[in-house]
Structure 1
Amino acid sequence: MAPSRHNPSKDTPDVLGLILAAGHSRRFGGDKRLAALDGQTLLAATTARLAPHVSSVVVMLRHGEHARAFGLPAGTHTLQAPSSPIGMGTSLAAAVSALLVSSEPHHQQCKALALMLGDMPGVRAETLQALAGRARHDNIVRPYHQGRAGHPVIFGRAFWPALAELQGDEGARALLRRYPSRVVVFDVNDPGILTDVDTLDDLSSLQ
Structure 2
Amino acid sequence: MARPQQYSSQKAPRVLGLILAAGHSRRFGGDKRLASFGEQTLLAATTAMLAPHVSSITVVLRHGECGEAFGLPADIHTLQAPLSPVGMGTSLATAVSELLVSNDSCHQRCEALALMLGDMPGLRAETLQKLMAHARFDAIVRPCHQGRAGHPVIFGRSFWPALAGLDGDEGARALLKRHALQVVMLDVDDPGILTDIDTPDDLSSLQ
The residue number in structure 1 matching 2:46 is 46
**Identity among equivalent pairs (%):** 75
Quote the Cα distance in structure 1 between the aligned partners of 2:105 and 2:20.
21
In structure 2, do the counterparts of structure 1 residues 200 and 9 end up closer, same or farther at CA, with 3 Å as the change threshold? closer
| Alignment-mate amino acid for residue 164 of structure 2 | A
Quote the Cα distance in structure 2 between the aligned partners of 1:46 and 1:171.
20
| Alignment-mate amino acid for residue 179 of structure 1 | H
- 1:127-146 counterparts in 2 under 5 A? 127-146=127-146
Kept in 1, the 8 Å contact 2:11–2:54? The answer is: no
The residue number in structure 1 matching 2:85 is 85
Q: Deviations over 1:135-189 (max 9, x none)?
A: 0000000111011110000000000000000010100010111111100010101
Quote the Cα distance in structure 1 between the aligned partners of 2:98 and 2:34.
25
The residue number in structure 2 matching 1:164 is 164
Question: How far off is 1:9 after superposition?
Answer: 4.7
Quote the Cα distance in structure 1 between the aligned partners of 2:130 and 2:143.
10
The residue number in structure 1 matching 2:3 is none
Quote the Cα distance in structure 2 between the aligned partners of 1:66 and 1:99.
18
- Which runs of 4 or more aligned residues in structure 1 lie more than 6 Å from their structure 2 counterparts after TM superposition? none
- 1:171-182 counterparts in 2 under 5 A? 171-182=171-182
SS at match of 2:27: coil
Kept in 2, the 8 Å contact 1:59–1:78? The answer is: yes
Q: Deviations over 1:99-136 (max 9, x none)?
A: 00111111111000000100011110110011000000
The residue number in structure 2 matching 1:58 is 58
Number of residue pairs matched by the alignment = 200
Question: How far off is 1:196 after superposition?
Answer: 2.2
Question: How far off is 1:11 after superposition?
Answer: 6.8
The normalised TM-score by structure 1 is 0.95
Question: How far off is 1:197 after superposition?
Answer: 1.1
Kept in 1, the 8 Å contact 2:56–2:106? The answer is: yes
1:122 aligns with 2:122: yes
1:25 aligns with 2:11: no
1:14 aligns with 2:19: no
| Alignment-mate amino acid for residue 166 of structure 1 | L
Gaps of 5+ in 1: 1-7
Quote the Cα distance in structure 2 between the aligned partners of 1:34 and 1:9.
25
SS at match of 1:27: helix
